[in-house]
Amino acid sequence: MKTDVFISGGGVGGLTLALKLVQRGVDVVVAERLTNKTPVYKGELLQPKSMQIFDRLGLFDAIHSSANEIKVLDMLELSSSLKVRDQSYMDYSVLPGKYDAAYMIHHEELKKVLRDAAAEYGNFHYYSGTACKGFTEKAAILQKGDDKFEVEADYFIGAEGRTSVTRKDMGIEVKQTLYNHHFLTVTFPRAETFKDGKIISTYNRFLGLFPLPDQQVRSVYLIPEGDYQELKKKPISHFHKLYTDLAPAVDGYVQQLKDWKKIQLMIPVMYHAPSYVKGNKVIIGDAAHAVHPMAGEGMNMAIQDADVLGELLADMLEQGDASDDNLTWYEKVRYRRAEHVIQLSHLAALAYSFPFKTVSYFRQKTFERMEEDSVLHFKQMLNVSGLGMWKENFRDRIIQGGFMPVRTTDLKPDMKELKYYTKNDDYPWKVEGLK
Ligand SMILES: Cc1cc2nc3c(=O)[nH]c(=O)nc-3n(C[C@H](O)[C@H](O)[C@H](O)COP(=O)(O)OP(=O)(O)OC[C@H]3O[C@@H](n4cnc5c(N)ncnc54)[C@H](O)[C@@H]3O)c2cc1C
């Protein structure tokens, strides 16, 4: 079999890339080793840049109607006696334009939307229950049951997530950073009126609640590393109480979880591959980088990788004789952005990694200042959104530390939009030219 682009892995990254390519007339084979839905919880929060990408792919309405829109993340810091000590907000509506919210969507529902949209094109070939086992010089070696076959392609993309066969074949090694904490994660019913995200913490506890559609809520609860086995021996009522202590709003709902079976352990890791490209092979998404889930970025990074690489591959194939060296455009655009998001997520993780009252006090002050200072608030939301990048400077840190007064003058929307990535920033080879 022969195709233009072979994609190993039909996760969100692989499917976004496939859709982008088939819409441009490129022939694509996707091999996905699973036949059914993934049994583990994965990313479900779509940041604004991902919505912009899906809008350009004609999927804004389909995703919007299957998702719960989140405009505001409430950040509640509780005292030791579990009274609200401080409340601040991360408000997406400080972002001007159409993409001024995040969206919670069931992971498998998003994959279905992408797969169905791609399946409308005759040049999309999806092989489920088919694992990529490795590569010959010219082809990917696939296995479905006992059958082995090969797919030749101009380009081979590793979108297999953390354990990437393609990354291994490229000889790229990643060095993982682990954290001193893990998470319990589970989805359960919620009240109809509970629609904004909530992050609730005390000096030594953390609960994140992210409302999904269908009156469900996805939750993450921080536990010290190694506590999971002991916790699971306790009655489920112990788990319910961990949640209702911090979030009375889930009382009457979390109790609908009757045993520990649905509650999964999530182990955060961080890594960034030293490069994404070798010859005609490229890695995207979790194959290339993993981030601590605190900032809700993992899935978005995969989507953003797919967008840039998809545009580049389609342009290269359209040109016919473009050199493989052009693939480094993808790395040039995405590497710096991914590194910034990895560091942002890492900092957010550190803010909750140390169970001390002084850390909790400084965290609360930092969030308060971020909300009060218009520039800091915009920078934070912009950097999280993926729509642009505006790094914090020394003055920002001084303000955040409370050593200078906050800025009260609001930035004008057109000034804010100057910080957004333009199409030329996303796809610079269109201006500078392919080799
Ligand atoms: C257990 C877990 C929990 C997570 N929870 C969160 C969270 O709560 N919030 C958050 O923001 N992010 C979370 N993430 C991260 C987020 O889900 C990922 O960043 C995102 O899914 C990455 O997309 P991807 O397409 O790169 O990889 P994946 O979503 O991992 O998709 C890879 C696909 O490739 C397939 N595959 C693997 N190997 C092969 C092979 N050899 N041949 C063929 N197919 C193959 C897999 O079956 C899978 O379908 C989680 C990740 C994991 C692993």
Through-space distance between the first and last CA atoms of the chain, rounded to whole angstroms:
28
**Atom from ligand 1 closest to the CA of residue 284:** 26
Is a pLDDT exceeding 90 seen at residue 354? no
> Which class does domain 180-266 fall in?
alpha beta
Nearest CA to ligand 1 atom 13: 43
Nearest CA to ligand 1 atom 10: 43
Residue 197 beta carbon below 6 angstroms from any ligand 1 atom: no
Ligand 1 pocket: which of 299, 305, 307 to mutate (most atoms <8 Å of CB)? 299
* Distance (Å) from CA 111 to ligand 1 centroid: 11
Residue 17 beta carbon below 6 angstroms from any ligand 1 atom: no
Q: Could you confirm whether domain 2-67+105-177+269-345 is CATH 3.50.50.60? A: yes
Amino acid at 82: L
* Distance (Å) from CA 296 to ligand 1 centroid: 13
Residue 161 beta carbon below 6 angstroms from any ligand 1 atom: yes
Q: What does the block give as tokens for 228?
A: 């999971």
Is a pLDDT exceeding 90 seen at residue 359? no
Nearest CA to ligand 1 atom 31: 11
Compute φ and ψ for 341, nearest 5 degrees.
-70, -35
Nearest to 143 by CA among 123, 161, 127: 127
Residue 423 CA: distances (Å) to CA of 25, 239, 332, 413: 21, 47, 15, 19
Instruction: Give the tens place of pLDDT for each residue, 228-283.
Output: 999 999 999 999 999 999 999 999 999 999 999 999 999 999 999 999 999 999 99
Nearest CA to ligand 1 atom 7: 43
* Residues 307, 386: Cα–Cα separation, whole Å: 12
Nearest CA to ligand 1 atom 53: 42
Instruction: Give the tens place of pLDDT for each residue, 101-152.
Output: 999 999 999 999 999 999 999 999 999 999 999 999 999 999 999 999 999 9
Residue limits of CATH 3.30.9.30 in the chain: 180-266
Residue limits of CATH 3.50.50.60 in the chain: 2-67+105-177+269-345
Instruction: Give the tens place of pLDDT for each residue, 142-199.
Output: 999 999 999 999 999 999 999 999 999 999 999 999 999 999 999 999 999 999 999 9
Instruction: Give the tens place of pLDDT for each residue, 191-226.
Output: 999 999 999 999 999 999 999 999 999 999 999 999
Residue 32 beta carbon below 6 angstroms from any ligand 1 atom: yes
Residue 286 beta carbon below 6 angstroms from any ligand 1 atom: yes
Is a pLDDT exceeding 90 seen at residue 51? yes
8 Å CB contact between 132 and 165 = yes
Alpha-helical (H) ranges within 164-233 are: 165-169, 228-232
* Residues 203, 213: Cα–Cα separation, whole Å: 31
Stretch 287-306: mean pLDDT:
96
